[in-house]
Amino acid sequence: MFSESPSVKKLYERLSHKIKVVSQNIDDKVQSAITDRVSAPSDNLNPPTYLDEMLILQTLKTIESKAKDQIEQSDKSWS
């Protein structure tokens, strides 16, 4: 750690926890999207398309953006 002060330790622990929560939420949503795609009716005539991949990427970017916004709002509440 950078400092031994209690306030820095507390802030570090809080931010570490938030990062873990956000990472877990992203992992859960990605897994859910994969499960939905796998469980959807499929056949060799309908393989995943470029548009499917773009939709997944856009969803991940949206999740990432929302996570960053939440972290920034949390940071503002600490200042």
Segment 4-23, tens digit of pLDDT: 788 878 888 888 888 888 88
R_g (Cα) of the chain, nearest Å: 18
- Round to whole Å and give the CA distance between 79 and 77: 6
Residue 72: what pLDDT?
Answer: 82
Q: For all residues of the chain together, what is the average pLDDT?
A: 78
Q: Is the pTM of this model over 0.85?
A: no
Is the distance from CB of 23 to CB of 68 less than 8 angstroms?
no
Summarised one tens digit per residue, pLDDT across range 24-39 is: 888 888 888 777 776 7
Higher pLDDT, 43 or 65: 65
